[in-house]
Structure 1
Amino acid sequence: MENLSSIFEFWKDLTPSQAAFLENSARSETFTPGMLIHRSSGDCKGVMAVISGGLRVYCVSEEGREVTLYRVESGDVCILSASCLMDSLVFDVVIESLGQTKVCLLPSPALHKIEEENPLVSLYIYKNATEKFSEVLWTIQQLLFMKIDQRILNALHDESLRQKSRTLSITHEELAKEIGSVREVVTKTLKYLAEEGKVSLGRGKIEILK
């Protein structure tokens, strides 16, 4: 098991018995690429710290269109998988694994017990959740006020930072899910960006030129 005190900020505020209880309750889980980990209508798993790999948190429209709200990278903590612990906050989201992903999971029943004893744990959960709202609001701002070509370029630059390369392994369908559009619109816009000399297109690859 990972060193929990180095992963969860609230660990220093636990009593020895609370820390021992959570340590005994914690477990490691590994998810395969693209695996659906959490739905708002499903089970409330608990708080997950990403040890390796990553998670994508997204929502789905009634028409089935996806838009990525934010990602949880290695070393970060995913709180929305324990949204049942936040009675006043309702999140209609889906969480999936990006690549082979290993997490350290603190199950909801165990966390709920400690929350009742230690309000600092509840404070940590709400603080983490509200911090993610800035990323969600940025996504909404792009959807409402930013043109499709700029949204695509922003998404490509973000992906470039993750892949550490200007030549990206990403399909038009994946890019559409990232920005909340449809593949046909993304393909048309990428062709325009290629004509403008901002990107170069290949099979399953996009190179950022500017």
Structure 2
Amino acid sequence: MVTELYKTFDAQFELDLIDEIAEVGKFVEVSAGEILMDIGNYIKSMPLLLSGAIKVLREDEEGDELLLYYLEQGETCSVTMACCMGHTKSEIRAIAETDSMIVMVPVQKMEEWMAKYKGWRNYVFESYHNRLNELLNTVDSIAFKNLDQRLVDYLKKKVEVNNDNRIRNTHQEIAYDLHTSRVVVSRLLKKLEKMKKLALHRNYIRVLDL
């Protein structure tokens, strides 16, 4: 995992910073579907993603979820970062989309590195910028796009982060992510199948031409 750390951040971080991350960070392997952090938990360390993909979700008062964005190699969650720095409870749920490797950085080191390393400062600011843009895209998608287009965008992103055109989520799981009903998702998937955009199989969806 240390090798993955150097490969992932060699272009972004100073060598001394990578050495410090390797020394104080906790390396963790997680399996697809595993919850990394949950709503209401206090966060004492921040994840840096070395490989794989993580999906970040928000929950409403009824317990229904909405997919906010994915984290991919070399990225971190700025919402988690804000909770760490502010010593507040998490307002998001992070679940491994695929088998992933992560290094967890202690919160006290995050503050120290802000003053010590330009590479870390740039990384933090860029992470906030990227996540804000993704959150705005999510808001725009809900406000301005119909569910047909949101579903297509969702399926495209799933193919991208998993590097596989077979989507193994159930219709209900897709409905949870899009904050809608299983019946609506099933109807729209059937519509896309008739348009030859995808093929519905017993245990997976094969994306053909979205």
- TM-score strictly above 0.5: yes
Counterpart AA for 1:60? E
Displacement of 1:133? 1.1
Task: Quote the residue 1:11 is aligned against.
Answer: 13
Partner SS, residue 180 of structure 2: coil
| Residue 147 in structure 1 maps to residue 126 in structure 2 | no
Deviations 1:80-136 (A, max 9, x none): 33323444x997211111232221121112223433x43744553233122211111
TM-score by length of 2: 0.79
| 1:200, distance to aligned residue in structure 2 (A) | 2.7
Give the stretch that moved more between structures: 119-128 or 168-177: 119-128
> Which residue matches 2:75?
76
Partner amino acid, structure 2, of 1:118? K
User: What is the aligned counterpart of 1:118 among 116, 119, 141?
Assistant: 116
Q: Size of the alignment, in residue pairs?
A: 205
Equivalent residue number for residue 53 of structure 1: 52
Tell me what 2:130 maps to. Answer: 131
Q: Which residue of 1 aligns with 2:155?
A: 156
Question: For residue 200 of structure 2, what is the aligned residue in structure 1?
Answer: 201
Is 2:27 aligned against 1:28?
A: yes
Three-state SS of the structure 2 residue aligned to 1:74 is: coil
Structural RMSD (CA) = 3.0
Unaligned runs of 5+ in 1: none
Distance 1:164 1:124 in 2: 25
Q: CA 1:70–1:197 in structure 2 vs 1: closer, same or farther (change >3 Å)?
A: same
Q: Distance in 2 between matches of 1:200 and 1:21?
A: 48
Contact 1:47 1:79 in 2 (8 A): no
Q: Distance in 2 between matches of 1:50 and 1:119?
A: 19
Per the alignment, residue 169 of structure 2 pairs with 170
Once residues 33 and 194 of structure 1 are traced to their aligned partners in structure 2, the CA distance between those partners, rounded to angstroms, is: 27
Identical aligned pairs, as a percentage? 22
Q: 1:90 to 1:186 in 2, by over 3 A?
A: same
Partner of 2:185: 186
Work out whether residues 54 and 97 of structure 1, in 8 Å CA contact, stay in contact via their aligned partners in 2.
Answer: yes
> 2:147 & 2:75 partners in 1: Cα distance?
29
1:2 alignment partner in structure 2 = 2
Q: Taking structure 1 as the reference length, what is the TM-score of the superposition? A: 0.79
Change over 3 Å in CA distance of 1:28–1:119 after alignment to 2:
closer
Mapped contact 2:83–2:90 kept (Cα < 8 A): no
Whether contact under 8 Å (2:52, 2:98) holds in the other structure is yes
Retained in 2: the 8 A contact 1:66–1:181?
A: no
